[in-house]
Chains A and B, each alone.
Chain A
Amino acid sequence: MKLLADYMWVVLFMGLGMLFVFGGYITSWLIRPSKPSSKKLFTYECGEVPVGSSWVQFNIRYYLFALIFVIFDVEVAFLFPWAVVFKELGLVAFVEMMIFMAILLVGLLYAWRKGILKWM
């Protein structure tokens, strides 16, 4: 249970972070004067009158980048255990990981050739 005791600091940190946010809200709610007006409900856009809706359809390219990111995020998850035992297992582990990454590199090259990585 040593681990759980270590994570008490994380819990403490989260608690203080929430206190910081909600404390600010509660303090301002207690001391501010209340003068509601319709202009106060405007979306803040650097003092300008907002133009159009904030709901716009995004380019599909964002989605493709997110997809490629997910794949390489999973790859990184496999890199962690490898990095921890890297010194212990030596060259064999290095070659094994290079094969693993080479296979995924094919995918990256495919994306590159298809022009996914180019921003238009």
Chain B
Amino acid sequence: MNIDAICSLVLSNMAFFVLAAIGIVCGVLVVTVRNLVHAVLFLAVFLLSVAGLFITLEAEFLAIIQVFIFVGAIVVLFMFLIMLTYKVSDMAVPQGNRLKGAAIVVAGVLFCLIFYIMKAMKWNEAAPVVTITDDVARIGRLLLGQYVLPFELVSFVLLAALIGAIVIARKGE
């Protein structure tokens, strides 16, 4: 291994640990902070750190989509939801309820399950690492060629979501 490869390995490992640390800290803050607006802002930082993790995996397109849809749209939607809820006007709201204990148990079991699967999984470590540089073009080719029917169906799913959301949101008027 030459010095360049070692440097990039150290760099990518460092990037992973920094991003993972930011993600974990922000994830914990999302569920513990008492101001809902702050919670949503920490959620945005958390989602950005996930986008950074995608970049360390060289999935650039996924990272951009993460920023576009999750940070750009979903967080904005959450923000509007909070501003629509007039009961938060005293700002500090309790984060937990009586199901806190059950939630911790479920989350712990889920974590153990995922950990077990990852331990048991035979990762294909021997295979040579292939760097894909034209991932967006590949996705485009597959989406419009082999998977054109699912692609058009996505449009129907989005249409159903749009109309459903409008119908539900207008009920209150």
Which residues of A are in contact with B by a Cβ distance under 8 Å? Answer: 1-5, 7-8, 11, 53, 55, 57-58, 60, 62-64, 66-71, 73-78, 80-85, 88-89, 92-93, 96-97, 99-101, 103-104, 106-108, 110-111, 114, 116
* A71, closest chain B residue (CB): B162
Q: Is the CB of A70 within 8 A of B84?
A: no
Summarize B's interface: helix, strand, loop or mixed: helix
Interface pairs (27), CB distance under 8 Å: A1-B8, A3-B55, A4-B15, A8-B11, A55-B88, A57-B83, A63-B81, A64-B166, A66-B76, A66-B77, A69-B76, A70-B77, A71-B162, A73-B68, A74-B73, A75-B158, A80-B140, A81-B136, A81-B137, A81-B143, A85-B141, A88-B141, A89-B141, A93-B140, A103-B155, A104-B158, A107-B163
For the complex, what is the distance from the CA of A10 to the CA of B156, rounded to whole Å? 37
Set of chain A residues within 8 Å of B166, measured between Cβ atoms: 64, 67, 110-111, 114, 116
What is the number of contacts between chain A and chain B, taking CB atoms within 8 Å?
Answer: 152
Size class of the B contact interface (CB-based, 8 Å) = 35 or more
Set of chain B residues within 8 Å of A5, measured between Cβ atoms: 8, 11
* B144, closest chain A residue (CB): A93
Known: A67-B166, A111-B166. A78 touches B151 (CB 8 A): yes
Summarize A's interface: helix, strand, loop or mixed: helix
Set of chain A residues within 8 Å of B5, measured between Cβ atoms: 1
Interface stretch, picked from B23-31, B56-64, B104-112, B115-123, is B56-64
Q: Is the CB of B73 within 8 A of A73?
A: yes
Which residues of B are in contact with A by a Cβ distance under 8 Å? Answer: 5, 8-9, 11-12, 15, 55-56, 58, 60-61, 64-65, 68-69, 72-74, 76-77, 80-81, 83-86, 88-89, 91, 131, 136-137, 139-141, 143-145, 148, 151-152, 154-156, 158-159, 161-163, 165-166, 169-170, 172-173
